[in-house]
Chain A
Amino acid sequence: MEMPLELKAQHSARRILLHPAKLAVNALMLLFTASCIFPLLWIGYSSLKTQAEFANNILSLPQAPQFGNYLEAIRLTNMLQLSWNSARVTVLSVIGITAIAFVTGYITARIDFRGKKAMLFYYLFGMLVPIHALLVPIYLLFKNLGLADEWYTLIIPYIAFNLSLPIMLVSSYVTGIPREMEEAAAIDGLSFSATMFRIILPMAIPVLTTVAILQFFSCWNEFSFALVLLKDEALRTVPLGMSYFKSQHSTDYPQLMAGMILSMLPVTVIYFAFSSRIIAGVMSGAVKG
């Protein structure tokens, strides 16, 4: 869209007049963004200080950065074990979520069947239900059935509680794929399953990647179910291990900060590697929701 010339001139004139406003707005936004990031930078560089150095001045940069806190934090939290437990539970849950969300989302987008509305409403309910109120009954159920305190225990609630949004995301994405794709496949004699997996699945890779990343964060960060369903120290996930670490070594702050940085490392790396895709995914989910 081209603006008429005189309008353009007027526009830029006003722009100059509005300079203070522009400055103020930009300053405000930068302040806001800085307040989002600074606390995290603070734990980042403070984790490189000794306890004495930190106590002396909590805001100063480290004089001689040292990684001793990291070694201690890894040893005291048993971070390698925690990370392995978290990675196993998270990866398997994400695979489960993505698979179920793809199949369910595809079917709801393309096929009308009795009870479809009720099913979608049932899944939507999961986004609103206060899941932490269910900690007690879920614990009792798992304990009675002997499902608590196993390596696979957490995968069950992690898949179940993370289905709602992914199903909606996949469903809205598939709605945007032209139906001619399936009609052509039917003419070629492909079955329903073959169409779904061989034609549609490759086309849905972008949305499935978004789903997988977002649910990776959700599972990696989850704390409540781990707290309630796991008693065995060898099965603890990262957030659970961090919680115990904090209550036992709560006075050595730089060391705690080193542990915090380690625990958020995978999420941070993935986030900054895929941030534009993640933000686009969240925004498309928001429109749908």
Chain B
Amino acid sequence: MGKALRPKGWVLLAYLLPGLVLYSFVVLIPILAAFRYSFFSWTGGPKKQFIGWENYAEIMRDEVFWRSFLNNVLMTGYGLIGQVGLAFVFALLLMSKLVKWKGLHRTMSYFPSTLAPVIIAFLWMLIYNYNYGMLNSGLKGLGLGSLVQSWLDLTGPIVLLVSIPLSWQNIGFFTLLMLAGLSSINKEVLEVAELDGATGVRKAWYVIIPLAKPTLIVASLLCIANNMRGFEHVYALTGGGPGNASSVMALYAYQSSFLRFRYGYGSALAIAIITLTMLIIWLSTLGLRRRNQEGGVY
């Protein structure tokens, strides 16, 4: 571009500054502040007591925190299957010529993504409800009355039960993401699959998978980031219960700070969550990239 079009440095800075200042104020400064507070024992009053790394040592021993961490990881696993995996299948179906009313499917399946997590949580609370829930009444209708139960009081599968609403809400978004990413795949590949039936599907699979890999990687990373930071669905659906069975890291940090007034510990938890999340995202980037390179060989 010619020199004439280039603004002076200070003009550029003046345009970029408002965004950067606001963003830093809400993202960077709180991280730095949390790091500082994490070395104190502090109940919110004027008195802060410096305790060094004690909060971090406590985190290492804190079973509820690690339980919450595992729940985040478990939710991520369910998310990769229920959001990214299923969305991939639906996207392929939507691209094939077999499926009619594509616009309808796209419009309707994305709609839940536009709703508030709190509303989604209430909706699923009603679905899981013991007396008036759709799930139990459906089971009764199918003659499976013996399976009827108070779903959200189950400790064993509670993380799965919390993950289902998340998948239900996000699958439309991931389907769109896949559709966008896969649009570069030659339509003929899919037609071969349609014409040749089962063998065609298998053939197409080998062609599609390498082509779809970049999209699958982006979707997986987004899904990992979303599930590692989950808070609102869990807060509104179970509050972390029963007991701590469905607690997630952000919810635990919230409860430590705002219900138990342990701001120092809550800040240390914030730093731990950010560190663990970034570590997991980084590791999965490495893992996915390597897989991608291997995939490129054949």
Question: Is the Cβ of A271 less than 8 Å from the Cβ of B114?
Answer: yes
Q: CA of A204 to CA of B103 in the docked complex: distance in angstroms?
A: 26
Instruction: Write out the residue numbers on chain B whose beta carbons fall within 8 Å of the beta carbon of A242.
Output: 116, 118-119, 122
Question: Is the Cβ of B263 less than 8 Å from the Cβ of A136?
Answer: yes
Given the known A-B contacts A126-B23, A186-B2, are A132 and B229 also in contact in the complex, defined by CB atoms under 8 Å? yes
Q: CA of A39 to CA of B179 in the docked complex: distance in angstroms?
A: 25
Q: Which secondary structure dominates where chain B touches chain A? A: helix
Instruction: Pick from B5, B6, B172, B225 the residue with the most CB of A within 10 Å.
Output: B5
Question: Is the Cβ of A119 less than 8 Å from the Cβ of B16?
Answer: yes
As a 0/1 sequence over residues 27 to 46 of chain B, the CB contacts with chain A under 8 angstroms (1 = contact) are 10111011001000000000
User: A239 is contacted by which of B12, B109, B116, B229 (Cβ under 8 Å)?
Assistant: B116
Question: Is the Cβ of B123 less than 8 Å from the Cβ of A228?
Answer: no
Given the known A-B contacts A25-B93, A103-B16, A243-B236, are A136 and B269 also in contact in the complex, defined by CB atoms under 8 Å? yes
Least distance between A53 CB and chain B CB atoms (Å) = 12
Least distance between B25 CB and chain A CB atoms (Å) = 7
As a 0/1 sequence over residues 94 to 123 of chain A, the CB contacts with chain B under 8 angstroms (1 = contact) are 001000110110010011010000010011
Instruction: Judge if B20 is at the interface, Cβ distance under 8 Å.
Output: yes
Instruction: Write out the residue numbers on chain B whose beta carbons fall within 8 Å of the beta carbon of A239.
Output: 116, 118-119
Chain A residue nearest to B29 in the complex (CB): A141
Instruction: Write out the residue numbers on chain A whose beta carbons fall within 8 Å of the beta carbon of B57.
Output: none
Instruction: Judge if B88 is at the interface, Cβ distance under 8 Å.
Output: no
Instruction: Pick from B33, B93, B180, B221 the residue with the most CB of A within 10 Å.
Output: B180
* Chain A interface size range: 35 or more
Instruction: Judge if A9 is at the interface, Cβ distance under 8 Å.
Output: no
Q: CA of A237 to CA of B88 in the docked complex: distance in angstroms?
A: 36
Chain A residue nearest to B229 in the complex (CB): A130
Q: CA of A267 to CA of B115 in the docked complex: distance in angstroms?
A: 7
Q: CA of A29 to CA of B231 in the docked complex: distance in angstroms?
A: 30
Instruction: Judge if A75 is at the interface, Cβ distance under 8 Å.
Output: no
User: B27 is contacted by which of A40, A113, A160 (Cβ under 8 Å)?
Assistant: A160
As a 0/1 sequence over residues 217 to 230 of chain A, the CB contacts with chain B under 8 angstroms (1 = contact) are 10011111001100
Instruction: Judge if A26 is at the interface, Cβ distance under 8 Å.
Output: yes
Q: CA of A253 to CA of B277 in the docked complex: distance in angstroms?
A: 37
Question: Is the Cβ of B253 less than 8 Å from the Cβ of A135?
Answer: yes
User: A126 is contacted by which of B27, B98, B177, B253 (Cβ under 8 Å)?
Assistant: B27
Least distance between A164 CB and chain B CB atoms (Å) = 9
Interface residues of A (CB under 8 A from B): 11, 14, 18, 21-22, 25-26, 28-30, 32-33, 35-37, 39-40, 42-43, 54-55, 58-59, 96, 100-101, 103-104, 107, 110-111, 113, 119, 122-123, 125-141, 156-157, 159-161, 163, 167, 179, 182-183, 186, 191-193, 195, 217, 220-224, 227-228, 238-239, 242-243, 246, 253, 256-257, 260, 263-264, 267-268, 271-272, 275-276, 278-279, 282-284, 286-287, 289
Please name 14 pairs of A and B residues whose Cβ atoms are closer than 8 Å in the assembled complex, sorted by A: A21-B197, A122-B20, A125-B27, A128-B221, A130-B225, A130-B229, A140-B30, A163-B23, A195-B5, A223-B117, A242-B122, A253-B126, A272-B107, A282-B173
4 closest A-B pairs by beta carbon, nearest first, are: A221-B116, A132-B250, A130-B229, A137-B30
Interface residues of B (CB under 8 A from A): 1-2, 4-7, 9, 11-12, 15-16, 18-20, 22-23, 25-27, 29-31, 33-34, 37, 90, 93-94, 96, 98-101, 103-112, 114-119, 122-123, 126-127, 129, 131-134, 137, 168, 171-173, 176-177, 179-181, 194-195, 197, 218, 221-222, 225, 228-232, 235-236, 249-250, 253-254, 257-258, 263, 266-267, 269-270, 273-274, 277-278, 281
